[in-house]
Structure 1
Amino acid sequence: MLWQNQPTPEELAAEKAKQEQVEAKEKANEAKKKKDTFETTASDYSNTSAADSLKLLSLKNKLGAFAYASTLPSATDNVTTVENGVLTLKFSNKGGYLSEVKLNEFVDYDSVPIYLINNKNTAFNLSFATTDNRNLNTQDLYFQPTVTKNGENTVVSMKLKVSESEFLEYRYEILPNNYMMNFTIRSQGLNNVINTSQDVNLDWKLKTKRHDQSISYENRYTRLTYQHDNKNKIDKLAQAGEDEETETDVNWLSYRQHFFSTILVADKPIKSARLISKDLVQNEDIDTVYTKQFQSKFALQTQAGEINESLKLYFGPTDSKILKQYNEDLEESIPFGWGIFGWINKALFIPLFSFLSSYMSYGIAIIVMTILIKIVLSFVQYKQFLSQAKMRVLKPELDAIRAKYKDNKLKAQQETMALQNKAGASPLSGCLPGLMQIPVFYALFMFFPTAFALRQKKFLWADDLSSYDVVANLPFNIPFYGDHVSLFPILAAVAIFFYMKMTTGDQMASQPTQEGMPDMSKIMKVMIYFSPILMLVFFNQYASGLSLYYFISNLISIGIMLVIKNYILDEDKIHAQIQVNKAKPKKQNRFQKKMAEMMEQAEQQKQAQQKRKK
């Protein structure tokens, strides 16, 4: 019966066509319904369902005119992703801010991609009052994203809408293969919505994520740095603990991590900014993820009731070469040292190292630079050893003076100074050249830990010249030393020990003990052992490139010292020259005359006191 009554092919085709028409009509109605829903404005919601009307009423009561933004399809927690070659950026619909920034060309010490920003470590919020007496925060509101092109640049527009033509916009213009982007905060048609008689405040927080092998070492170079006072001053918040400052006329502020920075640059100086820093590393064994928490708060400038703030955002390496390209003095955020020390680094060591490393490996470049520096400073060592040799030659005569005037210490000092002046020998003549090395020493101490070029560069057994080398891991942690053994600090400590052993022996032989003065020989003996131990412990956590420099530097110093003592200086000739100098009439400079007069007056006062006692 079923077979006999089955529909004919023509009937099946007609039924199928009818079904398709029904389905097409349903789809068209559904699409129309969605379109009508998407295009519905706050004023149209009187025609929607009762549930939607109640929802809109609740939103209006809570958000006022900004309730419209929550009715749009973009009112979800979606993100918009954009790449420019060096950065991968994600923008959150909720809040309209950059919720993730990945550096495409870098990884951390554990080969994990570097994210300067992720959704867990940042907050970017505008807080403002409305004309209907509401206080709102953009971090709670939904922005509508659009991505367009402006030539080769990619423009991401995040709009917080009151209507289709009235909105608050975050506009990001992203340049190809560039770590800097243009960032504009502007409003359109909101002069009757936002109450600009009260401040529109920007609050930007960032917890800096660990990227280095040692979190405490990275934390030492992680600081909030800023330029202010009409581009005349660079200041920093405290390196440790909590710190807070309110500064005026701020041009830029940098959330600097050791080798990476997040920087906000203002086209017009920020009138007043509150800057906050909090150290998050209290215990290195427990606090292993974040180093510091930074926060900046400042009011946006308004004109005719509208916001129009032009800024720039930088997410990238703390590399002086890259930062210098932007002509904003951003490279000044790198701690090269203050005053002359920073000048030496910027004018000499950075260009020199850059030149050398372009022709050879970074480890060899450190060695070659060290050799060049020691050759230039070899005259300082010569002056020191010459002074020591002169003092050794004069020692018998100085001892005779002290023996002759053993009961008159003041007279002994006068005669000692007179002899040294005639002979052209003075302990200060050996100290002053040594002081010339301090700026170089400190400049290099600041250069190696901050040299971005050394990051993750291998040399011999060191995997990273910007971090400590490891030849053995310890099953326990030694206070101040760490849980590992670094070889470069050991080599540097051994070299320092032998160098000091050789030099302090000569100094002790040439520096007789002065009456009433501390015994310098004992102090020098202690320093022979204390300095290498300090190097061994302190530099176990420091950049291996710095320890390599000290090792090579002290080896070269030992070599220079042996050459000067054995092949250049002749104590017999020095003695003969001293005798010639003593025979010549010697004029005293004003300082020497003043010292002689003071000592003479002191001697006269002493004699007068002795007469009164008698």
Structure 2
Amino acid sequence: MDKNNIIGFVLIAAVLIGFGIWSQPSAEQIAAQQKQDSIENVARAKAENAAKMAAQQKTAQAKAAAEADTTALFYAALQGNATDVVLKNKNVELTVNTKGGVVSKAVIKNFEDRNGNKDVTLFDSKTQSLNFALAAKEVNINTADLYFTPSNQTDSTVTMTAVAGAGKSLVIDYVLGKDYMLHTKVQAIGLASAFAPSTTQMDVQWKDMARQQERGFTFENRYATLTYHEAEGGTDYLSEGKKIENETIEKKIDWVAFKNQFFSAVMIAKNDFAENSQMTSIPQEKGSGYLKQYEAKMKTFFDPSGKTPSEFDFYYGPNDFRLLKRVEKECAFDKDLDMQRLVYLGWPLFRIINRWFTIYVFDFLTGLNINMGIVLILITLLLKFITYPMVKKSYMSSAKMRVLKPKLEEATKHLNKPEDQMQKQQAMMTEYAKYGVSPLSGCLPMLIQMPIWIAMFNFVPNAIQLRGESFLWIKDLSTYDPIIEWNTNLWLIGDHLSLTCILFCVANILYSLMTMRQQRDQMVGQQAEQMKMMQWMMFLMPLMFFFMFNDYSAGLNFYYFISLFFSAAIMWILRRTTNDEKLLAILEKKYEENKNNPKKLSGLAARLQAMQEQQQEMQRKREELERKRKGLQ
């Protein structure tokens, strides 16, 4: 870079710096600009506030217009004072608010809540709402907007009236039964001219936030469901674990229930709810105090002339199987409501076991006024007594295979190659037939017991009789029994360790060890080696059960623990009382009888042998084709 270039760059820099200094505003100019900016900011803020106020005014006008729909006809019922009217008996206390004229709070007596209060509050006005909507010629009438006047008030009755003018009113009549049923009539008086002649229906909009009533949120949430009953069909429910919004129920339904684990609010329509009702169930977060957000949008019968009221029955009470059957008879609609299905008893097979056996036994034992823990022990003993013949048959089948193990090993020792395993199995089946032993006879009796286990899995968590009942260290058999708790929710485990769950899993491991030893003693050749692989699965199952059952009720875990304990005791007694030498002598005698005329296999064993023979034939054909192919080459 030469001298002239340097001088040029210096001059350009000087010009730019000088221009910047010359163009810089003075202190007076800066102050004036700041003042102008402040004015503009104030103006901008005023404009934003004006727009916001305009939007609010527009919303208020729209709301006022909507209310005007209702109040244009019911101007007299637009204003008033919201007061409470209480209906009560020995079982429930229902609060009917004059604003809206519907039940705003339901308290179920004699059931302690999870905070130690003596009664359970099913819902209140903060979380629950019910609106009857009527579409007239020129207005929309919403009962939620109206103030009603109470009359004919007693502990069990009240009439709520919203006045529309001289001789015109909307009336809601309530009669509380002796138990948990509230009979309701909705009737229009003198309003026939306000509706089109074709009007035959009203809209029903019901919402609720189902409260957490039990200690264990996760466990209770599994059994909290929006349930409904089809008028000409069965009972169904929305998925308890998924978020479902406005699901359309295509068929007519006659009742819908906002169900918790042990309590329900049920709305029953005399003339059914029409097709295409919309149901919503949204699970809530743990710690919120709520289980589900429920909503039901339905249509049902309405007579504008007022000659025939729209009738409903409401049930606010416990999910008790016998109680629901009895209370259903109090319904004035002469319907087969099948409300006892609110107590979930499992899939059809397991439901049959629970419906026609477990419930009767449970009712008998609870009628003796003994501790519920003792009831579970007695039920376990009874089931073990009933299944004992099957258990003994299964054990004796295993014992026969155990004492015959040396003989089978000797008879099949020449078939220990991997390619001989199918032939070895067939040879073993033939030997078993000679001794009159069916290796599969012990499997079926054990499988028969599985439905009982699964049936109890469905019954115990839904037995409200266990709620709040203590036994030994367990404070409440209907929920988990923690030996330690913490605030953090750990993956798979949760925020506690349940003692009965630990006992159940330990008992499961010990019982698995006993059964594995029994099975190992009867296995021949490579079967024993294969059993080593199965051991890991049998040890993993109790671990899986721990993660599954740690949140489950102490009553269910205690039942499984006791059941496994008695199963192990029965197996131990059978082992101690079985004389292997005498049993082998009996089998040898049968062998001599069947030596020249072996007993044919039947049933599943025969089908298994036929399948093995078929596989052998296919293998022989493949080998023959392979030899021919090699010969051609």
- TM-score tier by shorter-chain length is 0.7 to 0.9
Contact (CA 8 Å) 1:448, 1:546: kept in 2 or not?
yes
Query: 1:211: how far off?
Result: 0.8
Alpha-carbon separation, structure 2, partners of 1:143 and 1:289: 32
1:364 maps onto 2:401 in alignment: no
Contact (CA 8 Å) 1:226, 1:333: kept in 2 or not?
no
Alpha-carbon separation, structure 1, partners of 2:507 and 2:480: 18
Contact (CA 8 Å) 1:190, 1:305: kept in 2 or not?
yes
Alpha-carbon separation, structure 2, partners of 1:488 and 1:599: 48
- Name 1:449's counterpart in structure 2: 461
1:185-196 equivalences under 5 Å are 185-195=186-196
1:355 maps onto 2:367 in alignment: no
Contact (CA 8 Å) 1:59, 1:67: kept in 2 or not?
no
Cα distance change of structure 1 residues 296 and 273 upon mapping to structure 2, 3 Å threshold: farther
Query: 1:182: how far off?
Result: 0.8
- Name 1:85's counterpart in structure 2: 90
- Name 2:314's counterpart in structure 1: 313
The structure 1 residue matched to 2:150, chosen from 131, 141, 145, is 145
The structure 2 residue matched to 1:217, chosen from 204, 216, 219, is 219
Alpha-carbon separation, structure 2, partners of 1:195 and 1:91: 31
1:302-343 per-residue CA deviation (whole Å, 9 max, x = no partner) reads: 346556222110001111121110243211111111212111
Alpha-carbon separation, structure 1, partners of 2:104 and 2:83: 11
1:467-488 per-residue CA deviation (whole Å, 9 max, x = no partner) reads: 1112333364432223223222
Residue 270 of structure 1 aligns with an amino acid whose one-letter code is F
Residue 262 of structure 1 aligns with an amino acid whose one-letter code is A
Contact (CA 8 Å) 2:69, 2:141: kept in 1 or not?
no
More deviation, 546-555/484-493 = 484-493
1:602 maps onto 2:613 in alignment: no
Cα distance change of structure 1 residues 579 and 216 upon mapping to structure 2, 3 Å threshold: same
Alpha-carbon separation, structure 2, partners of 1:195 and 1:493: 67
The structure 2 residue matched to 1:205, chosen from 188, 204, 207, is 207
TM-score, scaled to structure 1 = 0.82
- Name 1:422's counterpart in structure 2: 434
- Name 1:69's counterpart in structure 2: 77
Residue 334 of structure 1 aligns with an amino acid whose one-letter code is V
TM-score, scaled to structure 2 = 0.80
For residue 429 of structure 1, give the secondary structure of its aligned residue in structure 2.
coil
1:101 maps onto 2:106 in alignment: yes
Query: 1:264: how far off?
Result: 1.3
Give the fraction of aligned pairs with identical amino acids, expressed as a percent. Answer: 29
The structure 2 residue matched to 1:263, chosen from 262, 266, 269, is 266
1:373 maps onto 2:376 in alignment: no
Alpha-carbon separation, structure 2, partners of 1:57 and 1:324: 47
- Name 2:348's counterpart in structure 1: 339
For residue 322 of structure 2, give the secondary structure of its aligned residue in structure 1.
helix
Alpha-carbon separation, structure 2, partners of 1:103 and 1:588: 62
More deviation, 83-92/564-573 = 564-573
- Name 1:474's counterpart in structure 2: 486
Alpha-carbon separation, structure 2, partners of 1:444 and 1:59: 53
- Name 2:573's counterpart in structure 1: 563
Query: 1:434: how far off?
Result: 1.2
Contact (CA 8 Å) 1:184, 1:308: kept in 2 or not?
yes
More deviation, 447-456/123-132 = 123-132
Residue 187 of structure 2 aligns with an amino acid whose one-letter code is R
Alpha-carbon separation, structure 1, partners of 2:621 and 2:387: 46
- Name 1:292's counterpart in structure 2: 292
Alpha-carbon separation, structure 2, partners of 1:157 and 1:532: 59
Cα distance change of structure 1 residues 260 and 341 upon mapping to structure 2, 3 Å threshold: same
- Name 2:249's counterpart in structure 1: 246
Contact (CA 8 Å) 1:411, 1:603: kept in 2 or not?
no
1:257-310 per-residue CA deviation (whole Å, 9 max, x = no partner) reads: 01111111222332325242323334x2xx431101122222122346556222
1:115-165 per-residue CA deviation (whole Å, 9 max, x = no partner) reads: 112001111112232212x3332212222222345xxx8321122222253
1:174 maps onto 2:176 in alignment: yes
Alpha-carbon separation, structure 2, partners of 1:266 and 1:141: 23
Cα distance change of structure 1 residues 392 and 189 upon mapping to structure 2, 3 Å threshold: same
The number of aligned residues is 545
The structure 2 residue matched to 1:541, chosen from 539, 551, 564, is 551
Query: 1:604: how far off?
Result: 4.6
For residue 474 of structure 2, give the secondary structure of its aligned residue in structure 1.
coil
Alpha-carbon separation, structure 2, partners of 1:401 and 1:61: 94
For residue 459 of structure 2, give the secondary structure of its aligned residue in structure 1.
helix
Residue 314 of structure 1 aligns with an amino acid whose one-letter code is Y
Contact (CA 8 Å) 1:216, 1:281: kept in 2 or not?
no
- Name 1:487's counterpart in structure 2: 499
- Name 2:59's counterpart in structure 1: none
Gaps of 5+ in 1: 1-55
Contact (CA 8 Å) 2:394, 2:441: kept in 1 or not?
yes
Residue 605 of structure 1 aligns with an amino acid whose one-letter code is K
Q: RMSD over aligned Cα, in angstroms?
A: 2.8
More deviation, 454-463/465-474 = 465-474
The structure 2 residue matched to 1:158, chosen from 149, 157, 160, is 160
Contact (CA 8 Å) 1:266, 1:310: kept in 2 or not?
yes
Alpha-carbon separation, structure 2, partners of 1:196 and 1:246: 27
Cα distance change of structure 1 residues 310 and 610 upon mapping to structure 2, 3 Å threshold: same
- Name 1:52's counterpart in structure 2: none
Contact (CA 8 Å) 1:250, 1:273: kept in 2 or not?
no
For residue 463 of structure 1, give the secondary structure of its aligned residue in structure 2.
coil
- Name 1:127's counterpart in structure 2: 133
For residue 438 of structure 1, give the secondary structure of its aligned residue in structure 2.
helix
Cα distance change of structure 1 residues 417 and 609 upon mapping to structure 2, 3 Å threshold: farther
For residue 226 of structure 1, give the secondary structure of its aligned residue in structure 2.
strand
Gaps of 5+ in 2: 1-63, 330-336
